[in-house]
Structure 1
Amino acid sequence: MARTKKEFEGKRDALLLSIWDIFVRNGYENTTLSLIISELSISKGVFYHYFHSKEECADAAIKMFIDRCIERIQAEALPGLTPDQKLTRMILSGVDFFHSDRQQAIGIDAPSNAVFHEKLMIAAVKRLAPVFARMIEQGVAEQVFSTEHPLESAEMILTLSNFYLDDVLFQWKPETIPDKIRAVADSAERILGAKKGTFRFLCFLAEGRSAP
């Protein structure tokens, strides 16, 4: 029984990797169940063994993507680092996870993928915020941060970093990006009641340099 469940989940996860690529490449609006089944090279019976609808496919693929992101950022909370150092590494890791693949970002931000993009942004904020909030709570306990709303603060920072700084979606002019990044860094410090310069690494990114 356990092996059968493990095999089922393993096959489903493998299908979801391909389904993610299908939605990114074709757009949610242009992706039909027939297209998914065709590109996966499986029968309808096999498809319905794992999924019930196109929307379920999209939601499951997004969940898998966010699960991988959470695994990545949690690995950055290394023992021996201060809460602000851990949070810094976690934010950088999350930004890299979402934006390092330029072609993927373009596909997600395409007009035909508006529904998929909206689902992804909502899932990112709702599921990543508790992870960041736990680190913020640790920072509050150690007097690195000062906020009575760790979860809501995490939600606001995630919205700023993942939505406002999405240059593909907003089509920001390249020369405006550095000031926007600096504004996000300043806002994050204010939201968390952190000392000035806590998120200076974002300013280094804005200038095209590596943080020291």
Structure 2
Amino acid sequence: MTKPINRKNEILKVARNLFLTKDYDKATMGDIMDALEIAKGTIYHYFRSKEALFEAVIEDIVEENIKHMRTLVKNTPKNALEKIQLLVNAGNISQENEKILEQLHKPANDALHSRLLAATLMKQAPLYAEIIQQGCAEGIFKTEVPLECAEFILSAIQFLTDMGIYPWTEQDLKRRMQAFPILIERLLQAPPGSFQFLV
């Protein structure tokens, strides 16, 4: 007999593959039941609706990415700036999950989109705060509030560059992206040019 946690993970894995290959609107719970050869009651025991399953898939993607980021930080002997650059590169989940994340930009999913952005921020901020604290010890940064700096920076970047939330023009987006390195350097009192890799 399959253990509940294993069954739930099986459903998530199949659903993730389904949402990566089929439009969300056309994907059905029946597709997943057929693929796993499970009864309707089984899938609805774990997920009350397709929307709930979709949300769980995205949360699973985010959690998987956070684990990867934690491993990077733990296993690299680099200085704080180099670690931040590693995290920024590792934090981009859109490339492998493009079709899934496209669904979040649909008006019907606005609330889910905002919740997941906020959840991602809350999981990433402590990682960045740890590195900012390291940077303070190394003399690269200077702040007494590393966690709040991390929250402020991440929320600004995530929300102000999200085309699903704000209908920026390419020029608007470029202007903001060019300003972020300067603003972050001032907030963390970092050497000029430290965050130009963001542009």
TM-score bracket, normalised by the shorter chain, equals 0.7 to 0.9
Distance 1:37 1:100 in 2: 23
The within-5 A match list for 1:74-89 is: 74-77=70-73, 78-89=75-86
Share of identical aligned residues, percent? Answer: 26
C-alpha displacement of 1:101:
5.7
Matches of 1:175 and 1:99, distance apart in 2: 23
Moved over 6 A (4+): none
Residues 100 and 133 from structure 1, CA distance in 2 versus in 1: closer, same or farther, beyond 3 angstroms?
A: same
CA contact (8 A) 1:126 1:155 kept: yes
Which residue of 2 is the match for residue 207 of structure 1?
none
**CA distance in structure 1 between the partners assigned to 2:110 and 2:128 by the alignment:** 26
CA-atom RMSD, angstroms?
Answer: 3.0
User: Alpha carbons of 1:58 and 1:151: their partners in 2 closer, same or farther (altered >3 Å)?
Assistant: farther
TM-score normalised to the size of structure 1?
Answer: 0.75
Structure 2 alignment gaps of length 5 or more: none
TM-score, L = length of structure 2:
0.79
1:1-212 equivalences in 2 (<5 Å): 4=3, 7-18=6-17, 21=20, 25-26=24-25, 36-41=28-33, 43-53=39-49, 56-77=52-73, 78-94=75-91, 96-98=92-94, 103-203=99-199
Check conservation: 1:153, 1:191, Cα contact below 8 A. Answer: yes
Going from structure 1 to structure 2, the CA distance change for 1:50 and 1:102 (only over 3 Å counts) comes to closer
The answer to whether the Cα contact below 8 Å between 1:17 and 1:61 also exists between their aligned partners in 2 is: yes
- Contact 1:105–1:168 at 8 Å: present in 2 too? no
Deviation at 1:23, TM superposition (A): 10
Structure 1 gaps of 5+ residues are 204-212
1:154 and 1:140, CA in 2 relative to 1: closer, same or farther beyond 3 A?
same
Q: Is the Cα contact below 8 Å between 1:19 and 1:36 reproduced in 2?
A: no
Report the residue type matching 1:108 in the other structure. L
